[in-house]
Structure 1
Amino acid sequence: MKVLLVDDDADVREIIAFTIESQLSCEINEIDCGNAAIEEIKLNPNYDLIVCDYNMPDGNGGEVYNYLIDNNIDIPYVFCSSDFSQDHPEFNDKSRMLCEITKPRIFEGIETMVEALKVYNLRNNQESTPVNEEDYCTASLDLVAHCKQLPCDIYLLVSGKYLKTFKAGDEFSSEDKEKFESKNVENFLVKREDSKKFVQYVVEKVISILEDTSLKVGEKVLSVHDVIMDTIRELGMSESVARAAKSSVDFTLKYFDQNDETKNLRHMIFGDPERSYLTRHSVGISYISVGILKQTSWDSPENRNKLVMSAFMHDISVKKRKFTESKFSEKNDLEEIKDHPKIAIDVLKSMKEIPEDVFKIISDHHERPDGSGFPRAISGDQISPLASIFIFSHDIVDAMYELIKMDEVISLESVKKIISKFEYSQGKFPRIFKAFEKAELFQGV
């Protein structure tokens, strides 16, 4: 299904797109004014739905609607504005009007739009777009624990029967989480048709975290990462979750250079054992790798983004409860993780516009300079500069956690002592080691 979304406010477009994608399986093309939308329809008149603002500086929504009428183009049109269509004579002919969404009540309006679209599709003998399968999918205890109020019913499978454990709207407290942890419950079940409600929750949760002025940047970075990654692990990738992931990468990069806030972030990565290890591990690698990159000739905004995206996504297929800090850093149960780079790449392929370098970094992040790594057993000369920085940063983060477990001070010299067991003489690694020595990465840790 193809949707044309027209609004001159980029932030509003993003919120509307998030919400539509949580309800429908679709491809959205975003346009910022009425005249550009008309030109797009001239070139591509095969859209299944148009969602359009009214008040825009370069051609309003009424002009878009009249173009459909005048040219006998039968695309259902959604009036999405703080105005009302009845106040504008362009909309006296309701033949293309599917429904109205009144800002700012976007989510409720899009729910109405989905129902109206079902009726429209049935009336026109088209297949209904929303997915309504009645089977169940997994929602981990960690994912459910993010919800202050549950977005849908959740179930446990008991003696072959689905037992409703919580109802939509119920609170899920920290005490509830502890209770189920004590019973070794790792996963709940939700009806697959309700999984979109979790996706919508993720969008709203990410927005609320980023807008919460009471939270320090470190808390925002880690909390957003937790919510997004748990959702991808359990419910898979969608366009709206992919947008949220990209937003979290941009947000993280924006604040890495702010000294006071970054000091707080360092403390939360390496000094808060209550946080998920995989989250702290991923954000830690992003912080170290960007710090090293800045001291090299490879530094650029694009390469910083690639390293942070790789750090956030490289362990996306690893279950949080499968690996503890010690297990993962010591690489026990290697058979359990040897395929996870490939699986992570398969997940990422569903995201749009991911640079090829990100796939290379994730594919090679368990290679070693001496060729003893996996999955390809390539040596330093064959490893790209960005992947080499990532591998080295991975070693640094593991060394820092090892120092924490030994209750020793984290410093340049103590980290160098831990990583002295590795050989960094091949490929780009000598240059990266020198860049690491120049970067002031451990102040305030």
Structure 2
Amino acid sequence: MTTNKTIKILIVDDEIDVADIINFLVLDLLQINIKTTISHSGNEAIKALDLENYDYCICDHNMPNGSGDVVLKHIIKNNLATQFILCSTVTPISHHDEYPKDKILFNIEKPGVIAGIEKLANIILKKLDPEEKAHLTPEFHPIPVHYLKLFQDIPLDIYIQLGPDRFVKFYNEGDHFTTVDENNISEKSITTVYIKATDHVSGINDIIHNAVISIFDKKHLPIQDKITINFNDLVQLINFTGITNDLAKTIKDSIFQATKIIAQSNELTPAWSKINLIGEFPAKLYCLQSLICGAILKKHSWNSEQTLYKLAMASFLQDLSLSEISLMELYDYSEFLEKEDQFTRQSRSSYLAHPLKARDLAIKITGLPPDIEKLVAEQHEAPEGLGFPRKTNATQLQPLSCLFILSGFTARYILRNQKNFSYADLIDELDKKGYKSGNFKESFLVLSQFKI
């Protein structure tokens, strides 16, 4: 291999910070002619693969809008020369159907990102001529400035670049990094700082290791903390409903009440913990669905705090037996049928069984209010009777279930399309699917008239 050839690496991870860290490590460890591209979902990665030939793809598994195995299938189906590296908390052993060992280069088990990228760097660098390797050690190494926020005391001397070959010390090892420092750096538009190559091995690994651990610690946060972090942003996503601060607070209180009871249930702890460790997506989805339920419910004559609580509880119970974001984000049964071939047999069985499994788990909660188990069981029914598991239609479903189903579709639609979300397109999509018929009609009319 010569450095005249550009090595192209596609990095795929829905966690923006993780993708940035992997990107930094790749560029830092491979001081050669290299090009990296970052995608934040499987479907986005597939588009990138269709546009350009990549040598390597470093890919997460559990992502909204296309999981990692979909990316690998695309590579295999199209006979791409791209070598696939799984970088996830799951492994080819635990998910052997999705990731056959002979189809991946190797796997990086998070949070061991540093060792994994070092392994990839060694694979690539071994193909270089000795003379080329001799020119791969610059005097200074760049690091993103926002990594400094991870430290109260800076672990090594930090430099800024004033010219092509001029670097000036900006912070001394042991300096205290404060919010004031962060603001000053931001005002000066400094995005990259540097460390000396002689400090590189210990210093940069300290920074990256702490960054990775900090990110993965977020996955272990209690669900209430995840809700608090994302709540205001989610409220903004549905500002078209005219939701007030008071209503948002009432919904948040109902969510906290529901999640507290779920988290304290010994029977639900294993399933609940598994969902919580997936990341932020489930919490975002269930929180957003609760908000939409509350906004629509507010316009109904049968609005009450008890009903809002039921809807919030059902939102957080609905996927208790699932462990894949790619299944949680499906709009409805019709989309599942369209994408059925993308899932393993085990995943398909899990999806088809989960409404009743979630219901059975919900029943174990002591003092569960009436209707919640029914909401959970009927979450994937559809207006024309083409849902599952009972294939009940718009006239057979109770209005509360219709509100819950409609809100679930809407929440998933908004999360998937939030970059290009169109309220009018949402209403058109719901109309096409029959959501203005039968007992769906009342809630559909409320949703469709928010902007009128």
Fold agreement, TM-score > 0.5: no
TM-score by length of 2: 0.39
Q: TM-score, normalised by structure 1?
A: 0.39
